[in-house]
Amino acid sequence: MTSIKATNITWHEGHVDRGDRQKLLKQEGALIWFTGLSGSGKSTIAFTLEHALVQRGHMAYALDGDNIRFGLNKNLGFSAEDRTENIRRIAEVGKLYADTGVITMTSFISPYRADRDAARETIGAGDFFEIFVDTPLEVCEERDPKGLYKKARAGEIKGFTGIDDPYEAPEKPELVIDTSKVSPQEASISIVEMLVKAGKIPALSD
């Protein structure tokens, strides 16, 4: 991709800051970054968590990998370069969401460590929660919710993460979830607890 660098642009400060928005929402913005193999359960947990947070009275929004590829990132494929650009855009959008005070979930395979580390840097360490959905490949392949593993094994899809493209596991994720051991609801509860501990949302008794 060619990069176009705009000149003659100046950052314009608004009159409402993040603290004002957080006071209004009674929560702090955060970006919960799910990473893991296809079929590991990222989207399922993200949507379960989104529902749980909204029911608890919080503004939450899940940015889903496939859904984003229908719109914002529809000009990107799955080459290493396009995967990196995919993640860079998501990180920038996630940063805007977190700045609005919304608890935001992203569910993208995001297989490369360097891309996720760049996302952490973009968003800021205190707002970034990397959740490694560490479901064994055999379980993901057995589930195969979109029939993609079957196609990858048959050679109909090239460069499929976990089959013929690498997945670089996180070294220091904020949380690890193995969905062959816990349900989406249990996973969602542990993430809510993590957010309370981090001071992003109040404990229920507060």
Distance of CA 24 to the CA centre of its chain: 25
Determine the interface stretch with ligand ADP among 24-32, 43-51, 118-126, 159-167 (rule: CB under 6 A). 43-51
Determine the interface stretch with ligand ADP among 38-46, 112-120, 164-172, 189-197 (rule: CB under 6 A). 38-46
Judged by CB, which is closer to ligand ADP: 27, or 68?
A: 68
CB of 48 to ligand ADP, least distance (A): 8
Phi and psi angles of residue 175, each rounded to the nearest 5 degrees, phi first: -155, 145
Give residues with Cβ within 8 angstroms of 79, minimum separation 6: 159
Q: What is the length of the chain?
A: 206
Verify binding: residue 107, ligand ADP, rule CB under 6 A. Answer: yes
- Does residue 110 have an active-site annotation? yes
Among 136, 145, 166, 199, binds ligand ADP (CB under 6 A): 145
Among 36, 94, 162, 170, binds ligand ADP (CB under 6 A): 36
Give residues with Cβ within 8 angstroms of 142, minimum separation 6: none
Residue 24 burial (10 A CB sphere; 0-12, 13-18, 19+): exposed
Verify binding: residue 183, ligand ADP, rule CB under 6 A. Answer: yes
CB of 197 to ligand ADP, least distance (A): 22
Where b means 16+ CB within 10 Å and e means fewer, 61-94 reads ebbbbeebbeeebeebebeeeebbbbbeebbebb
The pair of structure tokens assigned to 94 is 């996630």
Q: Which residue is nearest to ligand ADP (CB)?
A: 41
Binding characters for ligand ADP, 44-83, by CB under 6 A (x = yes):
xx--------------------------------------
Residues annotated as catalytic are 110
